[in-house]
Amino acid sequence: MNYGFIRVAAAIPELRVADCAFNISKIAEMAKEADSKQVQVVCFPELSITGYTCADLFFQHQLLHDAEKALHELQLQTYNTKAVIIVGMPIRVQNQLFNVAVAIQNGKILGVIPKTNLPSNNEFYEKRWFAPATTTDVKEITLADETIPFGTDILFTTTEFSFGIEICEDLWVPIPPSSQQTLQGAEIIFNLSATNELIGKHTYLRNLIEQQSARCNAGYVYASAGAGESTTDVVYAGNALIAENGKITAASERFSFEPQLVISEIDVERLQAERIRNTNFQNEKANGTFRKINFECKSFDNSLLTRKFDKHPFVPPIQNRTASCEEIFSIQMGGLAKRWTHTKAENVVLGISGGLDSTLALLVCVKTADKLGYDRSRILGVTMPGFGTTNRTYTNALSLMKSLGITVKEISIEAACIQHFKDIEHDINVHDITYENTQARERTQLLMDLANKHNGLVIGTGDLSELALGWATYNGDQMSMYGVNSGVPKTLVRYLVDWASHELDAFSEIVLQDILDTPVSPELLPANEKGEIAQKTEDLVGPYELHDFYLYYFVRFGFSPEKILFLSQNAFENQYDKETIEKWLKIFIHRFFQQQFKRSCMPDGPKVGSINLSPRGDWRMPSDAIKFSNF
């Protein structure tokens, strides 16, 4: 199934009002073009065979005859077209006229869906011409000398996915037909529409489509009438919109005079993952039983994928930067404020290394103290230089603490670690895991004991990415009394610190920018001959931007390693080659499984985004699970 991607299109063809022969020729051209581009389903606008603005011409037998003749011609012209084609037209059924969608594949009519909700408050009073679907119980009609399924209780199904159809106004009612269709299993909804333009209406329409696709955990393909329609009283902009689970992934150029074929892919596997996790999805039982019409899903070469995936899925869009950062800080502050006041702690205590994570934790503590009306001196920042501490991080740690006006304490851990090495008979010249973890645990012991002495609360600084990789010393920096960064991945930490740097005074901004430019490191190994950081985390475990990408798709959607590799190649094209991405992905999966025991006893901390690894809520996993053997 090409990793779950289904290629769809919304088509806005050239149109002449009431010229069915012309219209069908243009529809056939675009349908063949879509088919040549491996589109699997293409949707055209409402009443696209006749034009939406025919008005009282819909009463003319000639127009209705021409429409049926044009439909038959479309069947002939698309006999070898594997893509499913959805077109709109008027159809007579038992002396009633219905506004319908017709689904065709390989020249065969699969089914006909009548419009349920007819607008009565716009310039084109549809109830003047058409009957709503609720006025008939007809289940089959004769069309083009064939007996065709007819009704609103139809879904089109293949082994790869199912789709449903609704028409224009159906989307705007309190409970759209698509809601029932998705409860019956439809993953994608196609909407044939003819929405005219008014000030502010387009924004509302986009929001409506995004919300319905999100509410239904579905893909949504919307094709609306364009420039060829009559402009006697209103104007049609030719809106072609494709959405997936709350986000527009492709859109047409509005008010274009040229035909437009908007193509995108919908990740059905992702939608199915959302529905599995959304245990409320099936709470609302579908009404009745839908008829399932089978069709053949043509193949799609995933190398032609048009969608591009964000390299940093945890990072909010830059246009929403201030609002997003303020909200994230508010969540972290809200969690810490509750814990601080509940414990009646006099102080909060945290280690300040001059690195990104401790910097963010310190900023959260400062903002929380300010919000609670506490003096910043109640924040005890402790810098604990060791064997690997460089002058750069040491200076930045001290400078930042002083600029923020907190209580500063410096304790070297070297003497204590040397004594510990003697106690456990470890050679100080052997720079192994014992050498490293001794320092991490010594720092945690100091913070815990200082918290006891000063009636304080030890604030953890580790982030979500480190939790995923287990990049923490067990009972060392893995432990705290409250972890304010536990829900924030490394890419988002960097984003938050950068934003905060521009919100502070000039000196603090300079310090924060230098911290951002400093390589990520635990600084547990001696510096190099130039006094620079020798132990760079990303050289050892891989780029955090890759790991955050893996984490998002592995935990959020449960994607297979193969699919994550495919998506990573798409997102990081021309930045990392396949071999590099695969190398670090294998390390991510290995460490994620191997290091679960550290997460099983992680401290409390606030959830910030859609992913968290707390064993008490979002991620429950046995510590002795075996990693996937096929990767």
Average pLDDT over residues 566-587: 96
Mean pLDDT over all residues of the chain? Answer: 94
The per-residue pLDDT for range 397-408, each reduced to its tens digit, is 999 999 999 999
Percentage of the chain beyond pLDDT 90 is 85
Phi and psi torsions of 199, nearest 5°? -60, 125
In order of 48, 108, 135, 292, 347, the CA distances from 147 in angstroms are: 22, 11, 20, 16, 78
The per-residue pLDDT for range 528-568, each reduced to its tens digit, is 877 787 788 888 899 999 999 999 999 999 999 999 999 99
Contact assessment for residue 218 and residue 178, using Cβ atoms and an 8 Å cutoff: yes
**285 confidence band (pLDDT: 50, 70, 90):** low
CB atoms under 10 Å from CB of 378, counted, come to: 18
Percentage of the chain beyond pLDDT 70 is 98
**Residues acting as catalytic residues:** 46, 115, 168
Average pLDDT over residues 586-608: 96
Q: What is the pLDDT of residue 304?
A: 83
Q: Which of 52, 48, 38, 66 is nearest to 11 (CA)?
A: 48
- Residue 1 pLDDT exceeds 60: no
- Residue 15 pLDDT exceeds 60: yes
Q: What are the structural domains of the chain? A: 2-304 (3.60.110.10), 318-533 (3.40.50.620)
**302 confidence band (pLDDT: 50, 70, 90):** confident
- Residue 123 pLDDT exceeds 60: no
Comparing 33-47, 483-497, 522-536, 576-590, the range with the smallest average pLDDT is 522-536
- Residue 468 pLDDT exceeds 70: yes
Q: What is the pLDDT of residue 630?
A: 66
Q: What is the pLDDT of residue 629?
A: 64
Phi-psi bin for 167: left (phi > 0), alpha (psi -120 to 50), beta? beta
Q: Which residue has the tokens 């004594």?
A: 419
- Grouping H, G, I as helix, E, B as strand and the rest as coil, residue 598 is helix
- Grouping H, G, I as helix, E, B as strand and the rest as coil, residue 146 is strand
Q: What is the pLDDT of residue 145?
A: 81
Name beta bridge partners: 379. 348
Q: What is the pLDDT of residue 176?
A: 95
CB atoms under 10 Å from CB of 227, counted, come to: 17
The per-residue pLDDT for range 51-109, each reduced to its tens digit, is 999 999 999 999 999 999 999 999 999 999 999 999 999 999 999 999 999 999 999 99
Average pLDDT over residues 193-215: 93
CA geometry: angle at 490 spanning 488 and 496, to 5°?
A: 70
Q: What is the pLDDT of residue 122?
A: 57
Q: What is the pLDDT of residue 66?
A: 97
Global pTM reads: 0.92
Q: What is the pLDDT of residue 144?
A: 76
Q: What is the pLDDT of residue 631?
A: 64
**121 confidence band (pLDDT: 50, 70, 90):** low
- Grouping H, G, I as helix, E, B as strand and the rest as coil, residue 350 is strand
Q: What is the pLDDT of residue 301?
A: 85
